[in-house]
Amino acid sequence: MAKFADMKQGTLLIVDDNRNILTTVRLLMEDYFERVLTTPSPDSIPARLREDKPDVVLLDMNFHSGINNGNEGIFWLRQIRRQRPQTQVVLFTAYADIQLAVNGLKEGAADFIVKPFDNDKMVATLRDAFLKAQPHQKGKPAKSGMFWGESPEMQSLRIMVEKVAATEANILITGENGTGKEVLATEIHRLSARADGPLVPIDMGAVSESLFESELFGHVKGAFTDAKSDKPGKMELAQGGTLFLDEIGNLSYSLQAKLLTALQRRCVVRVGGAEPIPIDIRLICATNRDLRQMVSQGEFREDLLYRINTIHLELPPLRERRADIVPLANRFLERYAGMYGKQSLRLSAAAEHKIASLPWYGNIRELQHAMEKAVILSDGPEIGEDYIDGEPLRHQQPEEAQTLDEMEERMIAKTIRECEGNLSQVALRLGITRQTLYNKIKKYGL
């Protein structure tokens, strides 16, 4: 029996007063679920629903000796449906009572399994129940948006992600611009026990110092001129889910201390308020900068680095995982061919060779844009090599800048396009401050 897309996913809770059955089913299902939890008593179900947020519950119908009418199972089925309706319940009974099974299905059970059970039947039934759970889970996509590819670098990373996603460990993702750090953060959240909670992203490089506390911690009405009403911060909005702090390396030294204090105390105080508000979040941070070097240069707090860096995941640049470049290009080709009504479009052998040989310094983002342009510009059934990078490169003549200002203007304009107008990323890539960037944009009328 194949695993879920060859990757363990989700949380299974087994409730049965027979400890031998608990052990047997747990050992069987550990190959198919990220987490397999067991309990011999249904009295612990409410706590498990709150704390572990299972995708599927395998629920015994009878728990007291001599009672076999299934009423206990129906009672707890109703409790589960009431407390956590997105959790799918599979009933587990030693009696092949069709009427009882029908009653359970009418009450909202996903399916039922009869004891003694068949291993393949057990796996298939619980797998199907897990798949039914996905569309109902708030903030959890039914499908992964992550492209793992086949390169050894990405497969090693995938193994690590599968190990750490289900934990509460803080994670730091590093890698060059365009390598997919936010996509990886989304995947970690999707695979976590918090997947039915919110994933709240915030670009730290885009938050000004004056608005930092309001943005992260919230504010109360009247705290400042424009505070017309109470507003929760991003940390509150991420309650029960994941807070993703992108470009954490762009946070100023003084603001790092305020972030650290909130993380250590596990609570925030809104601007203008006095009441501490507890926060329950899982933290994922990302940066394209070398934080350890920044620590040595006095630009990043060492204690904050330790706090956010329980697990470090490094996304390799595309040029270091060349086995994945053409498959990833074909993935984008399929997406944009469908979008633009060119479903039969394919890459020529020469185009594939060129795609595989280019350095792609903008990584996945650059490749994605190049494929969209190629799909738009192509006319025939194949995309030729000339159309890679958005226009027929064979006929493109390089322009020579006559002055340093012209060279600078073209460099800034090119970087703005590559960063999709994200000026924080533009400033970071060019190695200048945002204010300097704004001045140059104004100077050149960009």
CATH node for 4-136: 3.40.50.2300
With residue 291 as reference, give the H or E element that holds it.
Answer: helix 291-296
User: Which residue, among 113, 118, 114, has the nearest Cα to 129 in the 3D structure?
Assistant: 113
Q: Does domain 404-444 have CATH number 1.10.10?
A: yes
Q: What are phi and psi of 15, to 5 degrees?
A: -120, 110
Q: Which CATH architecture has domain 155-314?
A: 3-Layer(aba) Sandwich (3.40)
Strands (E), 252-394: 267-268, 277-278, 282-287, 311-314, 346-347, 382-383
What is the spatial order of strands in the sheet that 111-114 belongs to? Answer: 35-39, 11-15, 56-60, 88-93, 111-114
Taking CA atoms, 15 is separated from 38, 107, 149, 317, in Å, by 6, 18, 38, 45
Q: What pLDDT, in 10s, does the model give residues 283-322?
A: 999 999 999 999 999 999 999 999 999 999 999 999 999 9
Same fold, 4-136 and 155-314: yes
Query: Under the phi-then-psi rule, with left for phi > 0, alpha for psi from -120 to 50, and beta for the rest, what region is 240?
Result: left
- What pLDDT was estimated at residue 150? 85
Q: What pLDDT, in 10s, does the model give residues 49-60?
A: 988 889 999 998
Question: Do residues 364 and 328 make contact, with C-beta atoms less than 8 angstroms apart?
Answer: yes
Q: What are phi and psi of 172, to 5 degrees?
A: -110, 120
Write out the chain's pLDDT in tens, 446 residues.
444 444 567 899 999 988 899 999 999 998 888 889 999 989 899 988 988 889 999 998 877 544 455 577 888 898 998 888 889 999 888 655 556 766 787 788 888 888 888 888 898 889 888 877 765 444 444 456 788 988 889 999 999 998 999 899 999 999 998 899 999 999 999 999 888 888 888 888 777 777 888 889 988 888 887 778 888 889 988 888 999 999 999 888 889 999 999 999 999 999 888 889 999 999 999 999 999 999 999 999 999 999 999 999 999 999 999 999 999 999 999 988 888 888 889 999 999 999 998 989 889 989 998 999 999 888 888 998 888 873 333 333 444 445 777 778 888 888 887 776 777 778 888 878 877 777 787 777 66
Q: Which CATH architecture has domain 318-395?
A: Orthogonal Bundle (1.10)
- Is the torsion defined by CA of 49, 51, 56, 58 positive or negative? negative
Taking CA atoms, 281 is separated from 83, 137, 243, 249, 434, in Å, by 21, 18, 6, 20, 30
Break the chain into its structural domains and give their ranges.
4-136, 155-314, 318-395, 404-444
**C-alpha to C-alpha distance for 170 and 190, rounded to whole angstroms:** 15
